[in-house]
Amino acid sequence: MPARLSPRLAAIVDALPLQPHSRVLEIGCGPGAAARAVAARLTTGHILAIDRSASAVDQARAAAAAEIGSGRMSVRQVAAEDFVLEPGEEPYDIVFAVRVGALDGRHPEAGRQALRRIAMATTAAARLFVDGGDPLRALDIPRP
Q: Give tens-digit pLDDT for 62-71.
A: 999 999 999 9
Residue 2 inside a domain? The answer is: no
**What percent of the chain stands above pLDDT 70?**
98
Residue 95 structural domain: 7-139
Number of structural domains found in the chain = 1
- For residue 110, tell me if it sits in a domain: yes
Q: Tell me: pLDDT of 115 over 90.
A: yes
25-58 tens-digit pLDDT: 999 999 999 999 999 999 999 999 999 999 999 9
Residue 106's CATH number: 3.40.50.150
Residue 72, exposed/middle/buried by CB under 10 A (0-12, 13-18, 19+)?
A: buried
In a domain, 12, yes or no: yes
d(CA 44, CA 80): 25
| DSSP-based three-state secondary structure for 34 | helix
pLDDT value at 3 more than 80 = no
Does 108 have pLDDT greater than 90? yes
Residue 144 scores a pLDDT above 90: no
